[in-house]
Chains A and B, each alone.
Chain A
């Protein structure tokens, strides 16, 4: 079973071969490293850029103007903040030019906590990203979706922000990507760069890879239950799944929705579940003030106020400047399994 990093790598390789990808670039993206999380090892069009985030985003915009199809990486989203005006230009230039120009480009960046990353390797970016109209924003929580969402991003005519939950990049998926070899060791031998000297190494991409696409804007109902709804994405999604599975033993059954795309988001899927359960919790790990979950909660109140059985909730990261190094600080800053379990139990059992 492929890891998320392998899935992204295979999707990019497919993109190079079949979808016109011309440039995969950023800091340490090209050889010898192939990305600090190995996502870009062995790719034909991967190259190393200066350590200059503004240049990376600017170059991607310019390449898109020139008819290329770039995939640019900001190594950690903690370092994307100095590019925000360029991220705005990538989309508002379509709007400001009255549709004269469009920008088919992907910016990928690792996000979130979970790797003991301290203050500057643990940021989330979904709250700020969803404040920039015009971006399509995807956020996979497993390798299969990571592959399919990358394929969708590479086919799109608009800028797509591809958020990678860094704590999950090495996680193996229970399901198999279409075309992925059955033997995971064989896959590793084919596409993982060897340690040490890699000068003469070349990957052997699985021949059966397809353009398997996870459509942008479509959530996935991962568990079905009539008692309550939890909506999440990225690192916190598997926490919700684990909590939902644990609660089954208590007789509580959850709809667990993996949003997968933050913009444009699948409101139909959310609405359908809320109408069924009347109880909803939105979980993510970005800081809680002006959080994307708050928007979803506001819309829930706007549209379902009289149908809700109990107050809707958001569980998000604490509004503190960063995620501290000590495990105790990290656990106290961003949702962990006990937090999710507690919130989900309370939501489902609160009397009407």
Chain B
């Protein structure tokens, strides 16, 4: 919070210091290079499925930097989707941990080798468990929103999804529940519109801009160029300020690129769309905040780090098979089903994991 205050002026715009702009650039490159490394892991057989963020860095790095990070109602709750890695990296997550989840390793701190890559769950930062069930986070977000409305203060709920997700009823659920008269919810909704739902063009499935749906509910809304760092920061700052103070929802539709297709299922090859990092680098060069050589050095340094991280991850073990019976129930955490026991998982006499 203090960091945010230092960077942000009263009208929601940051003091665009060279340090902040170079920090954002570094975060964007970090995200891109960890995703590149993850894609390489699929291709080398060190992972099975990749889905991730390339193209959403200019939207999500500024979002992550403005989150009020912490646990509990006074901080922000995050309900994210599988292209949200720049958000958690900006909050301080370690790139190597994304590669650990990519490799389904026992060391994966987000899911212990159980979930797809980029499916985070970080209790200490209020990052709710993620699932590839499209848009369900918009139904779950209303719950933290209700709790924060009741609690008061300035903590908010942030929910992030894609344009394809808005075809689900859960999107409408969030619009309805967050605008109940007298019970409005402090939720910032951010939809990244990359124009596709897997392989289907969204324009073939809905006829009006998504932002119009939010406006129909009386929700203050912005439609922005999500490939532009400055526009993203401004809209997010404005949205957060509104939600924190008014305790009502705010909606942002951000146009973004999808640089490697939907996922590894379609090859994860680079496609010809605008690259938000190159665009930002042009701004940095124009302002003479860095030379081309210095920017290239950032890429080299991060790529080297990811390669080193990959070597570490490669040598780490998968979780043991008997791990499947851990954490079916919340308690006790240190016991689990004994496969040698005659009792079965559904059996109340089996003390495992409950």
Answer yes or no: do A and B interact. yes
Do A89 and B331 touch across chains, with their CB atoms under 8 A apart? Answer: no
Given contacts A62-B140, A95-B327, A100-B122, contact A55 B129 (CB under 8 A): no
* Residue A232, interface by CB 8 Å: no
Interface residue from A66, A70, A94, A103 paired with B148 (Cβ < 8 Å) = A66
Residue of A nearest to B128 (CB): A65
Interface residue from B139, B169, B330 paired with A99 (Cβ < 8 Å) = B330
* Residue B115, interface by CB 8 Å: yes
Do A264 and B348 touch across chains, with their CB atoms under 8 A apart? Answer: yes
Do B123 and A100 touch across chains, with their CB atoms under 8 A apart? Answer: yes
A99 / chain B contacts, CB cutoff of 8 Å: 326-327, 330, 333
B128 / chain A contacts, CB cutoff of 8 Å: 62, 65, 93, 101
Interface residue from A61, A66, A266 paired with B73 (Cβ < 8 Å) = A66
Q: Which of B34-42, B80-88, B338-346 contacts A (4 or more CB under 8 A)?
A: B338-346
Provide the bound-state CA to CA distance between A55 and B137, in Å.
11
Provide the bound-state CA to CA distance between A273 and B205, in Å.
59
* Residue A134, interface by CB 8 Å: yes
Do A66 and B147 touch across chains, with their CB atoms under 8 A apart? Answer: yes
For chain A, residues 27 to 41, give those with C-beta under 8 angstroms from any C-beta of chain B. none
A91 / chain B contacts, CB cutoff of 8 Å: 328
Given contacts A63-B147, A94-B330, contact A57 B139 (CB under 8 A): yes
Interface residue from B73, B79, B138, B330 paired with A67 (Cβ < 8 Å) = B73
* Residue B176, interface by CB 8 Å: yes
Interface residue from B72, B109, B121, B177 paired with A101 (Cβ < 8 Å) = B121
Do A299 and B330 touch across chains, with their CB atoms under 8 A apart? Answer: no
Given contacts A50-B176, A94-B329, A99-B333, contact A264 B354 (CB under 8 A): yes
Do A157 and B173 touch across chains, with their CB atoms under 8 A apart? Answer: no
Given contacts A58-B170, A97-B110, contact A52 B143 (CB under 8 A): no
Distance between A128 CB and nearest chain B CB, rounded to angstroms: 15
* Residue A351, interface by CB 8 Å: no
Provide the bound-state CA to CA distance between A134 and B109, in Å.
21
Interface residue from A22, A96, A218, A266 paired with B129 (Cβ < 8 Å) = A96
* Residue A176, interface by CB 8 Å: no
Provide the bound-state CA to CA distance between A61 and B348, in Å.
24
- Return the CB mask of B144-164 against A: 1 if under 8 Å, else 0: 111110100000010000000
Residue of A nearest to B349 (CB): A268
Do B143 and A94 touch across chains, with their CB atoms under 8 A apart? Answer: no
* Residue A263, interface by CB 8 Å: yes
* Residue B224, interface by CB 8 Å: no
Residue of B nearest to A70 (CB): B143
Distance between A209 CB and nearest chain B CB, rounded to angstroms: 26
Distance between A143 CB and nearest chain B CB, rounded to angstroms: 23
- Return the CB mask of A214-251 against B: 1 if under 8 Å, else 0: 00111000000000000000000000000000000000
Interface residue from A62, A104, A261 paired with B143 (Cβ < 8 Å) = A62
* Residue A133, interface by CB 8 Å: yes
Residue of A nearest to B354 (CB): A264
B144 / chain A contacts, CB cutoff of 8 Å: 62-63, 65-66
Do B129 and A101 touch across chains, with their CB atoms under 8 A apart? Answer: yes
Do B348 and A265 touch across chains, with their CB atoms under 8 A apart? Answer: yes
Q: Which of B111, B139, B144 has the most CB of A within 10 A?
A: B139
Do A267 and B145 touch across chains, with their CB atoms under 8 A apart? Answer: no
Do A59 and B139 touch across chains, with their CB atoms under 8 A apart? Answer: yes
Provide the bound-state CA to CA distance between A93 and B143, in Å.
15
Do B173 and A55 touch across chains, with their CB atoms under 8 A apart? Answer: yes
* Residue A86, interface by CB 8 Å: yes
Do A89 and B140 touch across chains, with their CB atoms under 8 A apart? Answer: yes
Do B347 and A267 touch across chains, with their CB atoms under 8 A apart? Answer: yes
* Residue B260, interface by CB 8 Å: no
Do A93 and B131 touch across chains, with their CB atoms under 8 A apart? Answer: yes
* Residue A287, interface by CB 8 Å: no
Provide the bound-state CA to CA distance between A134 and B330, in Å.
9
* Residue A213, interface by CB 8 Å: no
Provide the bound-state CA to CA distance between A60 and B145, in Å.
11
Given contacts A85-B136, A99-B330, contact A50 B143 (CB under 8 A): no
Residue of A nearest to B145 (CB): A62
Do A102 and B114 touch across chains, with their CB atoms under 8 A apart? Answer: no
Residue of A nearest to B147 (CB): A66
Residues on A lying within 8 angstroms of B by beta carbon are 22-23, 49-50, 52, 54-55, 57-68, 70, 85-86, 89, 91-104, 130, 133-134, 136, 157-158, 216-218, 261, 263-268, 295, 299
Given contact pairs A52-B173, A67-B147, A100-B123, enumerate 13 new A-B contacts (beta carbons under 8 Å): A22-B150, A50-B176, A52-B177, A65-B128, A94-B328, A95-B327, A96-B114, A96-B121, A97-B123, A99-B327, A100-B122, A102-B331, A216-B348
Residues on B lying within 8 angstroms of A by beta carbon are 72-73, 77, 79, 108-112, 114-115, 119, 121-123, 128-129, 131, 133, 136, 138-148, 150, 157, 169-170, 173, 176-177, 180, 326-331, 333, 343-350, 354
